[in-house]
Structure 1
Amino acid sequence: MAGREQARAEAAFMRGDVGVDGGATEEKQDEAEAEKGKAREALLRGRAYLGREFLTWLLWRSESGDPLVEYENEGVKVLYMGRVVLRGVAGDVTELSAKGTLAPYSEQVKHSLDRGLLVSQARLRFTHGEKEYEATVDSEFLDVRAAKLPALMSEEEDDQLSERLFLTEQLAAMVDALVKDFLAVRAGRAWSKQVVPAMKEWMRGDEKGADALSKAARAKGREARAARG
């Protein structure tokens, strides 16, 4: 027993948990930091992780160039452009940033996704009818940042302010519609059995993944048309 206690004491000393006198070191002061770390981990595996799944799923869906959802009777197309940031929770690489016009759709990004990283932040272009919007979307709270709105049609300053607010609300509503569509898929039975395998094939450059994407888009279109009667 004495030998085991001695071994535990030595291990605690080597970890820095106790000092040479056997008393606890000042590392205990970091209990609050440890709790913050746990909270960050919970957030990462909760809301933020779900946001990363959404942005990764949206990247996969957007490569076809087809409208992804309908908003106010117009299809919404999404294009990833410019810089994209990938993050993960384990492995040799836990963060990767890629820049370039079509960098998000590059083989390097897809291979990184296949190794476990997820899209954490991206610059997106939303096309709704004849209007184009751009915004950086962050996965943590799905914040929309640095938005670029369509050209204003109003000439009066007060009217321009109202129009800008209206367009900002339109952009937020389109993001919400895409998130709602993702959550419906994410909560369904097909997520683990069909969607994730198809995404993995796409990440690996397998044509089946692209075929599955096309089939999913066509099926979604049929469902939307049936719902409208």
Structure 2
Amino acid sequence: MLLIERVKETEFLAREFLLWLWYNSEVNGGTYKLEDGDVELWVDKKIVLRHDDDEGTEKIVFTGDNLNLKEARFALMEKKQVTESQLRLKVEENEYSFTIDSEWMNIKTLKTPKVKQDIKEDPEGIFYEKMFLIEQAISAIDTIYGEFIELRLSPAWNDSVKPALLNWISQVKE
């Protein structure tokens, strides 16, 4: 089996992950309890939904500073799936912004906090601090994704999480 075929077969996991993040950001404030402490991860400024069928592909992009996702949640009821999401992550005092797509689970446009080192005092320190910030963000995302996969493979997914997601989606009518 070609790599692209394997990616297409498992893309649903990434789409479900992005949906689960969106749900958690609205319902639970996007707080995750990790071993190293709490982190916050929430949908921010952009979400892309897509629906593929025999007639073609329909893609809808929702953007804005005060992102009202009521219309986007309504699109979920119309069988559209989350394919890309701009997210904001807060780890300790550090805040990050980035986009994740569901096809390859790529992290795009990762914006880290500003490096605090002075280039004149410690030129190498800037590099190491930037690498630390990137690693901090990726580590938090990896841990949250790992928790999602554990949950997705557990009986709790079908027993409680999936019904809660479907209920949350259907509440858009109200």
| Fold in common (TM above 0.5) | yes
Q: Secondary structure of the equivalent of 2:135?
A: helix
How big is the shift at 1:40?
A: 5.5
Contact 1:80 1:124 in 2 (8 A): yes
Structure 1 residues 197-206 or 53-62, which shifts more? Answer: 197-206
Residue 96 of structure 2 is matched in structure 1 by 133
Where does structure 2 lack aligned partners over 5 or more consecutive residues? none
Distance change (3 Å), C-alpha of 1:69 and 1:86: farther
Residue 26 of structure 1 is matched in structure 2 by none
Judging by fraction of residues, say which structure has more helix: 1
Of the two structures, which has the highest relative contact order with CA contacts closer than 8 Å and spacing of 6 or more?
2
- Correspondence for 1:65 among 13, 26, 29: 29
User: 2:29 and 2:10 mapped to 1: Cα distance?
Assistant: 28
For 1:9-48, what aligned pairs fall within 5 Å after superposition? 43-44=7-8, 46-48=9-11
User: 1:170 and 1:87 mapped to 2: Cα distance?
Assistant: 31
Q: Does 1:50 align with 2:16?
A: no
Q: Secondary structure of the equivalent of 1:94?
A: strand
User: 1:88 and 1:42 mapped to 2: Cα distance?
Assistant: 20
Contact 1:69 1:181 in 2 (8 A): no
User: 2:168 and 2:91 mapped to 1: Cα distance?
Assistant: 26
Larger radius of gyration: 1
- Correspondence for 1:183 among 149, 153, 157: 149
Residue 69 of structure 2 is matched in structure 1 by 106
The TM-score, its normalising length taken from structure 1, stands at 0.66
Q: Does 1:166 align with 2:135?
A: no
Q: Secondary structure of the equivalent of 2:48?
A: strand
Contact 2:11 2:102 in 1 (8 A): yes
Contact 1:69 1:178 in 2 (8 A): no
Q: Indicate the percent of aligned positions where both proteins have the same amino acid.
A: 26
The TM-score, its normalising length taken from structure 2, stands at 0.85
Q: What is the RMSD computed on CA atoms of the aligned residues?
A: 2.4
- Count residues in correspondence: 168
1:96-141 deviation line (CA, Å, top 9, x unaligned): 11111243x5111111112222211111110112110111111122
Q: Secondary structure of the equivalent of 1:204?
A: helix
User: 2:73 and 2:99 mapped to 1: Cα distance?
Assistant: 20
Contact 2:29 2:42 in 1 (8 A): yes
